[in-house]
Amino acid sequence: MQRLIMNDLKVWATSQSPKPAMVNGARRVGKTWLILELGKLFGDNFIYLPMEGNSVVKNLFEREPGTTELVKGIEKYSGKELIPEKTLLAIDEVQAVPKALESIKYLYEDLPGLHIIATCSLMGLAVHKGTSYPVDTVNFNVHPLTFVEFLLALGNERNAIDILEDDHNVYLDRHAVLVKLYKDYLFIGGMPNVVNEYIKTNNLISVRNAQNEIIGLYERDFSKHTENSLEAVGLQQLWKNIPIQCQNDSSEGFSYKKIRSGGKKDEYDWALGCLKYSGIIHVIHRISALGLPLCAYLELQHFKIRLVDIGLLGAITQTIPAMLEDLSTKTAIIRGVFAEQFVLQEMLGNKIGVNSFGYWKHGNEEIEYLLASGLDIIPIEVKSGRVTKSNSLSSYIKNNKPPLAVRASLAAYKRHEALEEVPIYGIGSYLSKHKFKDSTLGWEIPPATP
């Protein structure tokens, strides 16, 4: 498996005296695999400390934070010496012992040059009041596999490279093949365990079972990390309501009253923040006006939510492949939700506009995403099918005259004046190529076989 973020981690790992690294993300997005893979660069100087289910490692960090005894304990457990500038110390699921977060700070200060990396599933931190997150760290946010990473995992390097190169001629030549693979991804999603299950079995029932196992893991986390029955009930009520909330249209957005009759904001704000902070859901706010920076114009009271992964979205809504193929009006809403979820995952996975996008609802104009690029605001409309005629985007272009407008759909690539029609499966690479990225990321891809 190849992950785009690995290149960033390698840059951190090869730097001199780096700050501690925190690898954040929802459960089962592949954080552990990343640090184990990174550890191969350090050979015998790699020390791996798994917190979850390991009482010996937990006990090392549960005593009062300090360096001397902790170093002795780590070296005794691992049978290896902690050597600054040479050792990579990896702490997996650090949130399992809140005191370990403070210990990272002491290790960094007292052993300068020691490479320290920790994975963190933020659900634990979201509910443990008084737990402080290390401030002086480098943070890496991990998301499910992007479509290109999915293709690479399947051994489909040729199509992956073609998408990365954003070659419009290739899109035309292989459009039907890439659309089929895109539809496979809509059901399977990008959770590494699920993708591996598909590779191993080529069986969609096994895929759905793997997705349900992750959903069950999340639900067990809810009861494990809530501190009282009211918090537990609120979190479960909100979670069970996700299928309904995800299908709300942009004009309505998130509705507390749909959780239960008479439901109010104050009852569910904690639960909503917990799911957002843990990376299980994403919150997309409506933009009130076309001003910069976009974050200054986010309407905090109007928003919609999406799940961490498109495959888990299918599992929680009980969506089957036939629904995603059906072109009737009875599946129009769920197909639209999946297309919008796909574009969101591609943006997040490619680090595009992470801190500078929202959705637009103004009069008869409904645009799925507005993305800031320098001094420009770029509309991105998302369509689930091949029919691309849209009054909303036409009206937006006429009224606001953006230098570029993008429509992602199942149609082949086409350009007409300011509007670019981009095949939805290539939207992540298209936006990356056009400099919408938050930072420059490289790729290391093996040569494709002819």
What are the phi and psi torsion angles at 409 (to 5°)?
Answer: -155, -175
Whole-angstrom Cα distance, residue 264 to residue 262? Answer: 6
> What is the rounded CA–CA span in Å between residue 98 and residue 156?
41
From CA 268, how far away is CA 392, in angstroms rounded? 33
Question: What single DSSP character describes residue 383?
Answer: -
**Cα angle value 183/186/192 (rounded, 5°):** 120
Other Cβ atoms closer than 10 A to 293: 10
Instruction: List the Cα angle 229/231/232 in 5-degree steps.
Output: 60
Taking CB atoms within 8 Å and a gap of at least 24, the contacts of 171-180 are 171/412, 171/413, 171/423, 171/426, 172/412, 172/413, 175/412, 175/423, 178/423, 178/425, 178/426, 179/410, 179/423, 179/425
Domain ranges of the chain: 6-141, 147-433
Specify burial of residue 168 (Cβ count, 10 A radius: 0-12, 13-18, 19+): middle
Q: What pLDDT score does 202 carry?
A: 97
Looking at residue 371, what DSSP letter applies?
Answer: E
Class of the CATH domain delimited by 6-141 = alpha beta
For the chain, the first-to-last Cα distance in angstroms comes to: 20
**Residue-by-residue pLDDT tens, the chain, 450 positions:** 899 999 999 999 999 889 999 999 999 999 999 999 999 999 999 999 999 889 999 999 988 767 899 999 999 999 999 999 999 999 999 988 888 888 998 999 999 999 999 999 866 555 555 555 566 899 999 999 999 999 999 999 989 988 888 777 777 788 999 999 999 999 999 999 999 999 999 999 999 999 999 999 999 888 777 777 777 888 999 999 999 998 876 567 898 988 988 788 888 988 998 899 889 999 999 999 999 999 999 999 999 999 999 999 999 999 999 999 998 999 999 999 999 999 999 999 998 876 678 999 988 889 999 999 888 999 999 999 987 678 899 999 999 999 999 999 999 889 989 999 999 999 999 998 876 654 333 333 333 333
pLDDT at 174: 86
Residue 283: what pLDDT?
94
DSSP state of 411: S
How far apart are the C-alpha atoms of 107 and 389, rounded to whole Å?
Answer: 58
C-alpha count within 13 angstroms, C-beta hemisphere, residue 276:
13
pLDDT score for 446? 38
Partners of 371 in beta bridges: 357, 378
